[in-house]
Amino acid sequence: MKFATKAIRVGQEPDPTTGAVNVPIYQTANFVFRDVGQPNAFEYSRSGNPTRSAYEKCLAALEEGKYGLAFGSGMAAVDAALSVLRPGDHIVSSENIYGGTFRLFEGVAAGRGIRLTYVDGTQPEAFEAAIEENTKMIWIETPANPLLQLVDVRAVAAIAKRYHILLAADNTFSSPFFQRPLTQGVDVVIHSTTKYISGHSDVIGGAVVTGDAALHERLAYYQNTVGAVPGPFDCWLSLRGLKTLAVRMKKHEENALAVARWLAAQTTVEGVIYPGLPSHPQYALAKDQMDGFGAIITFRLPGGLKAVERFAKGLDIFLFAESLGGVESLVCHPWTMSHGVMSPDDKQKIGITEGTIRLSIGIEDVDDLIADLEKALKQTAL
């Protein structure tokens, strides 16, 4: 089966009892045992739930993995991926990562005795140069939040394999429709399913997908033991989101490319960044390792924070809000929002300025989106 068909059919056979086309919401905490010490297929919804299992199976298939595990948030999924590490272990990470991941690395993982080194993710050799005797994981995010740097996944995977190091990739910005890192040598893929997977800004969730049975067993043990799992209704909403992922991502990208080209022609903005523009320094890599360019656009406003405030007030259709990946178009100010946890020096080091704007392009009519941006930019220039 091809992608769009898998999104609708894998794990979603008609209900054998009623014939229902959609997977039911098994809104239950527990399940009856056949006899003492003999549970049925499910026994307790922290350990497993039929709705969650259908969702996990479908998501794994879309990532071309064998095993999917759902979590209550993207950050819970990140923490699960780190659960295989022990005190004294070392991570080499891209320096351009989501601010929440950075906060977890520095505020939680470091407190557990895990050491971190951050490198320029656009340079594969930087990962190799930072490897130490006890390096157990390489962490990449591609495209990176919010400046859309790409990591050469195959090159870094070759390094990880050579040194027998686990390679983890955050694939949130692309979704499995545009990129499937497991097919390029990655060991474990992480998602904030709040974004494109669910796609409607109505549920918080995360997921981890792998093709390795032993790794899955360790991650599944952590999932069950810690219990940071989504409820059945959240899983049902996310599974419903998967059904339209293919059509949504096509429209997201179509709109984003049109908006990026329009922004690049404006003299009132600086440094428009979008992997689908030939001006992106890694445009060739994006075409090689991705099936599409996604729907996130980043640019800078001259004038810093004051210009951002005027720009936000001038918008009607774009919403100034956290997150991304929903059907509605959003504006984020990374300096104060997605990367607000980082110090000013850390933000400036990786290229985030007070004037940096991140757009999540939705699926509205693109002419309306461009008109809204044009109006807001005129307001900014006043």
Q: Does 346 score more than 70 pLDDT? A: yes
Told to judge if 34 belongs to the known catalytic residues of this protein, a careful annotator would answer no
Average pLDDT over every residue of 315-342: 96
Are 10 and 124 within one domain? yes
Are 201 and 127 within one domain? yes
Final residue of a structural domain among 219, 243, 267: 243
Are 238 and 262 within one domain? no
* CATH code, domain with 324: 3.90.1150.10
Structural domain including 80 reads: 3-243
Are 314 and 325 within one domain? yes
Catalytic residue among 79, 152, 170, 187: 170
Told to judge if 195 belongs to the known catalytic residues of this protein, a careful annotator would answer yes
Are 254 and 215 within one domain? no
Q: What integer pLDDT is reported at residue 381 of this predicted model?
A: 77
| Three-state SS annotation for 200-265 | CCCCCCEEEEECCHHHHHHHHHHHHHHCCCCCHHHHHHHHHHHHCHHHHHHHHHHHHHHHHHHHHC
Are 11 and 157 within one domain? yes
Share of the chain above pLDDT 70, in %: 100
Catalytic residue among 6, 195, 248, 347: 195
Are 292 and 344 within one domain? yes
Are 279 and 197 within one domain? no
Q: What integer pLDDT is reported at residue 168 of this predicted model?
A: 98
75-129 pLDDT, tens digit per residue, is: 999 999 999 999 999 999 999 999 999 999 999 999 999 999 999 999 999 999 9
Told to judge if 98 belongs to the known catalytic residues of this protein, a careful annotator would answer yes
Average pLDDT over every residue of 141-150: 98
* CATH code, domain with 236: 3.40.640.10
Are 252 and 291 within one domain? yes
Q: What integer pLDDT is reported at residue 88 of this predicted model?
A: 98
Average pLDDT over every residue of 340-364: 95
185-232 pLDDT, tens digit per residue, is: 999 999 999 999 999 999 999 999 999 999 999 999 999 999 999 999
Catalytic residue among 46, 66, 103, 250: 46
Average pLDDT over every residue of 49-56: 98
Told to judge if 202 belongs to the known catalytic residues of this protein, a careful annotator would answer no
Mean model confidence pLDDT for the chain: 97
Are 69 and 176 within one domain? yes
23-47 pLDDT, tens digit per residue, is: 999 999 999 999 998 999 999 999 9
Q: What integer pLDDT is reported at residue 379 of this predicted model?
A: 86
Catalytic residue among 26, 98, 118, 274: 98
Are 66 and 107 within one domain? yes
Final residue of a structural domain among 224, 243, 262: 243
Average pLDDT over every residue of 167-182: 98
Q: What integer pLDDT is reported at residue 147 of this predicted model?
A: 97
Final residue of a structural domain among 226, 243, 260: 243
250-267 pLDDT, tens digit per residue, is: 999 999 999 999 999 999
How many domains in the chain?
2
Are 59 and 205 within one domain? yes
Q: What integer pLDDT is reported at residue 382 of this predicted model?
A: 67
